[in-house]
Structure formats: C-alpha cells, structure tokens
C-alpha cells in the first residue's frame, strides 16, 4: 500500500502552497484521482487523518474527484468510457490502446485560512 | 462555520508525484546522454524475476556492459544470486517500502557507478500494484507473469500490465503441471495491453531465454543506435 506515501506528498504540496500564500491552516484538499493512476481513493482517505496530524492540514476535509478511464476507438467510432479492464469499443468491439484520461493523480486546489 | 475574511481557495493544479516524476525525467535524460538503456522489471513476488535475470545476464554480458539494481524489502539475497554473471550488482533494501522510487535509483546509480554501462536493469520490489505509479526514469517496463499465478492476473492487475511495453510469461516448464492455459493467458494479456510484446521463457530449461535477451539487445541498440 503506497497510498500513505502519496497522501504525504499531497499534504507536503498543499502546505508549501499554503505557506507561500501566508495562510495558517488548510481546511480542504481537493484531489483528482484517475482510474488508471494505480491509487485507491479509499486507501488515501484511510491514510489522510494520520498523515495530516500535526500539519497545517490537520482536521482538513479530503475531497477526491474520481476520473474514469476514457478511450478513443481507432476505427473511428468515437470516444467511450470502458467498463472493464479490457478497453473494447462498445460499438465495434475493437480493443483500444488510445487512452485519453484516467492517469490523473493531482492536487487540484486547497481551502486555506 | 468560520467566516474569517482570510478564508480562500488556492488553485494548485500539480501532479502529486511531481517530485518523483521530475526526478525520473531528469534521470531518463541523464541515462540517455550517457547512452544507457534502462529496463524496469516488475512482477508479483516469486514470479522468477531474479532467476530470469541471472540466466539473461550470462547472454548479455558477453556482448554489452550491464549493471543491475535490485530492490527488496530486506536482505541482499537477490544481489548475491545475480552476482558472478559479469554485471555489477547493487542491492537496495527498501526497509519495508513496497516499491522503488526515483530518488532510490538516483542514489543507487551513484553508488553502482553507471558510467560506461550499455544497459541498466532495475529489478523492482515484487508487487503488481505500487510500482505502477512510480516512474523510475526507465526506457521500458516489463511485467512478468509466471504460469503458476493464473491466466487472469492481467485482468486483476490491469494498471501495471497497461504500463508495460513487454510481458514475459515465466516458468513455462511448469505449465503442464499447473494446467496453465497458454491461449487464455495470451488473450488476457493482449486484451489488456494490446501493444505489448509477449515473450515466453523458462529459466530452468533455458527455453525462450535467447529470444528474450535478443529482444533486450535490439531495444538497447534501437535507443543507443
């Protein structure tokens, strides 16, 4: 489980941003987590309370926006959101390796005081 | 609850792993400048990474200069198994960490001394989940699937397979004993990662090892020219 390390990175980024803006506390972190990021949102939440203790983000709300995978069919059928690990086009059945989104693992914004 | 006039939203818009990713990009550039091809080998624990590499090193080191960085939670057993095949080997003990990160590769590469190498092999910690998220500055990522693990591993752990340029089926000498369904495994691999090259090897009998070594030499030459 590498989510604790990842949430520590997110808190560090948030604290750097908050300090640079002269803030004294962080009340919300908003993360964007893609279905292909290799990160489990529940595990991030599990690690957050412990990881944020004693930092500016102590007691902050962790908001996770999940980003589904999105592909484009190479046969020109358009874009689709796969519903399984096999990215087959719902129109023609061809397997796509053109991934348009889903790898995101970003700190989007924070609320500070 | 609090309506302090100082309350505000700050846009950040940064990749959470930007430090790792940034360092991995710098390592990739540096390795490229030095003409070093870098391979990141991942798999479940016990899929045969070390044995495959030990057998491969014998074929590679007669032709090119190879270095190996091997990661494990504890012990230097794998480094011992990989030494004596003509490559410099360095063990990283992650002390419980479940994957390697770019900063570990940076310091291991410094300790190993990569100057003059043609190929740097990184044997990641045995784990099909966490290594998927961490770029190490490699040129290609290769995932191993041993016949004893079951044909549906690519469906259960799609992220790591999707991020791999090649998949090596290992321990093929045991295929009959474990009733391994080769066709199904290959269908599963290519449906999850259609662009990946699929190789089949047995470190015990030597089957497929030459083709795998040739794949690496070709990929290395394609990069270095």
Q: Domain residues of chain A, as ranges? A: 3-68+102-112
The CATH number of whichever domain residue B98 belongs to comes to 3.40.50.300
Those residues whose C-beta lies under 8 Å from the C-beta of residue A67, and which sit 6 or more positions away, are A32, A33, A34, A35, A101, A102, A104
Which tens digit of pLDDT belongs to each residue from B179-222? Answer: 999 999 999 999 999 999 999 999 999 999 999 999 999 999 99
**What mean pLDDT comes out for the span A27-54?**
94
Q: Which of residues 1-60 of B touch A (CB under 8 A)?
A: 2, 4, 6-20
Residue-averaged pLDDT of chain A: 95
ipTM, two decimals: 0.91
Which tens digit of pLDDT belongs to each residue from A63-77? Answer: 999 999 999 999 999
pLDDT of B224 > 90? The answer is no
Chain A interface disruption, residue of B5, B11, B12, most A CBs within 10 A = B12
Taking the C-alpha atoms of residue B141 and residue B11, their distance in angstroms, rounded to an integer, is 34
CA atoms B62, B67, B72, B74: torsion sign = positive
Residue B8 in tokens: 């505000």
**What mean pLDDT comes out for the span A8-18?**
97
Residue-averaged pLDDT of chain B: 95
pLDDT of B175 > 70? The answer is yes
Among residues of chain B, what percentage have pLDDT more than 70?
97
pLDDT for res A105: 97
Taking the C-alpha atoms of residue A18 and residue A14, their distance in angstroms, rounded to an integer, is 6
For chain A, what is the largest distance between any 2 Cα atoms, rounded to a whole number of angstroms? 55
Cβ separation B195–A97 shorter than 8 A: yes
pLDDT of B4 > 80? The answer is no
The closest CB to that of A1, out of B12, B98, B194, belongs to B98
Q: Which residues of B touch A106 (CB under 8 A)?
A: 12-16
pTM: predicted TM-score of the whole model, two decimal places: 0.92
pLDDT for res B95: 87
Residues in chain A: 113
Taking the C-alpha atoms of residue A18 and residue B62, their distance in angstroms, rounded to an integer, is 55
Quick one: fold of A3-68+102-112?
A: hypothetical protein PF0899 fold (3.30.2320)
**What mean pLDDT comes out for the span A24-31?**
98
pLDDT for res A2: 86
pLDDT of B2 > 70? The answer is no
Q: Which domain holds residue B76?
A: 2-224
Q: Which residues of B touch A31 (CB under 8 A)?
A: 16
Count how many domains chain B has.
1
pLDDT for res B121: 98
CA geometry: angle B87, B93, B98, nearest 5 deg: 115
């Amino acid at each position: 489980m590498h989510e604790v390390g990842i949430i520590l990175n997110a808190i560090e980024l948030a604290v750097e941003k908050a300090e640079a803006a002269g803030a004294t506390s962080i009340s919300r972190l908003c993360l964007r987590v893609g279905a292909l990021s290799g990160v489990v949102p529940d595990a991030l939440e599990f690690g957050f309370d412990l990881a944020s203790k004693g930092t500016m983000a102590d007691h902050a709300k962790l908001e996770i926006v999940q980003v589904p995978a999105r592909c484009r069919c190479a046969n020109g059928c358009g874009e689709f959101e796969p519903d399984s690990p096999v990215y087959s086009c719902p129109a023609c059945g061809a397997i796509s390796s053109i991934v348009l989104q889903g790898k995101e693992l970003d700190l989007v914004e924070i609320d500070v005081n | 609850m609090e309506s302090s006039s100082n309350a505000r939203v700050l846009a950040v818009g940064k990749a959470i792993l930007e430090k790792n990713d940034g360092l991995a990009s710098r390592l990739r550039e540096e390795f490229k400048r030095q003409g070093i091809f870098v391979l990141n080998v991942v798999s479940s624990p016990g899929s045969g990474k070390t044995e495959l590499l030990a057998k491969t090193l014998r074929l590679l080191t007669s032709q090119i200069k190879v270095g190996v960085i091997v990661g494990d939670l504890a012990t230097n057993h794998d480094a011992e198994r990989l030494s004596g095949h003509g490559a410099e080997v360095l063990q990283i003990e992650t002390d419980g960490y479940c994957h390697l990160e770019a900063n570990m590769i940076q310091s291991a590469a410094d300790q190993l001394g990569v100057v003059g190498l043609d190929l740097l092999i990184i044997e990641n910690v045995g784990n099909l989940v966490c290594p998927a998220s961490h770029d190490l500055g490699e040129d290609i990522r290769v995932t191993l699937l041993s016949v004893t693990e079951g044909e549906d591993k690519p469906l259960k752990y799609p992220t790591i397979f999707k991020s791999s340029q090649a998949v090596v089926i290992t321990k093929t000498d045991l295929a009959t004993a474990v009733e391994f369904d080769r066709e199904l495994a290959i269908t599963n691999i290519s449906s999850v990662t259609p662009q990946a090259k699929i190789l089949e090897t047995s470190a015990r009998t030597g089957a497929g090892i030459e083709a795998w070594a040739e794949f690496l030499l070709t990929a290395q030459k394609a990069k270095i020219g």
